[in-house]
Amino acid sequence: MDTRLISTFTTLARTGGFTAAAAELHLAQSTVTAHIQALERDLRVRLVDRLPSGAVLTEAGRRVLERAQQLLDAEAALRAEARSGGPIEGEVTVGATESLCAYLLPGAIAALHASHPAVDVRLTPSGTAGTVERLRDGRISAGLILEPALRAADLVIEKAGTLDLGFACAPDHDLAGRKAGWAELAGHRWFLLEEGCTYSDDVARELAAGEHPHITRLGSVEAVRACVAAGLGLTLLPTFALADRGLGSFQAPRIRQNSILLARHARRSPSRAQQAVLDELAKAAALLS
């Protein structure tokens, strides 16, 4: 079986469209289509439904995807073994929350490139559920997850650090510098990261006990912080996203402490490039604790 067809299939599954897959693989769109059709003929099953919204994996396609990624991993391991002792190189895709993508990963990737310039790291912002799903179907090689704890039999999950969180408001907000309970806090407007962010979801659940909680969910740390700095409401963010930003702070009842968890698929042996990325992410996460 031609592994180029497998590579095209996994790229199409990850990008969700023939045009995007062609651009990433530097191929003509017709070539991507031909690769998928050839693979479908070889396997004697339809792998992809072509819809106006993009390419959607069929049930058979979803079953095949994990094995396809395992095959590509095995090929990469074979090539790495053949040239072991040479430079570490390859592409590694990492899934992480938006806040970690913005504040932890840039430094980690810069440090990695300094020692392994041939390793190409690609980031996929996602919450816990999205990261776990992408690890399982092979769309990403490693994941950084923010949860108090997480167990999954098919994943290797290690605690790499602890996330320090802080409640923030505008410096002149009437809550600045004092403590308040959830009943009082539910009467204020809040700006939280989008659903799937564990600590934001925890705050939203606490506020839900109020009669009419005012919660706006945003997909960007910068957007949340700008709204709070303008005096529009309150938030909870990692302290590394609040440092030196001229914001006020207040105290609220404790919520669950979140760990920074480093995850990979249990049945896929990491390549040298993937292991280098995992090691660098572990070091970066430990520095946040």
Residue 220, domain CATH: 3.40.190.10
Residue 282 in domain: no
pLDDT, tens digit, 9 for 90 and up, residues 48-64:
998 887 889 999 999 99
Tell me, yes or no, whether 167 and 254 share the same domain. yes
Is 195:130 a contact under the CB 8 Å cutoff? Answer: no
Number of domains observed in the structure of the chain: 2
Domain boundary, last residue among 24, 52, 86: 86
Domain-ending residue, one of 60, 86, 112: 86
Q: Element (H or E) spanning 144, and its range? A: strand 142-147
Residue 137 lies in a domain: no
Domain that holds residue 236: 163-258
Q: What is the Cα–Cα distance from 224 to 219, expressed in whole angstroms? A: 8
Is 223 within a domain?
A: yes
pLDDT at 31 over 90: yes
Q: How large a percentage of the chain has pLDDT more than 70?
A: 97
Q: Is residue 270 part of a domain?
A: no
Asked, for residue 113, whether it belongs to a domain, the answer is no
Which element (helix H / strand E) includes 15?
helix 3-15
Decide if 201 is inside a domain: yes
Residue 248 lies in a domain: yes
pTM for the model: 0.67
pLDDT band at 84 (very low <50, low <70, confident <90, very high): low
212 found inside a domain: yes
Rounded to 5°, the CA angle 204-143-61 comes to: 100
Distance CA 256, CA 198 (A): 9
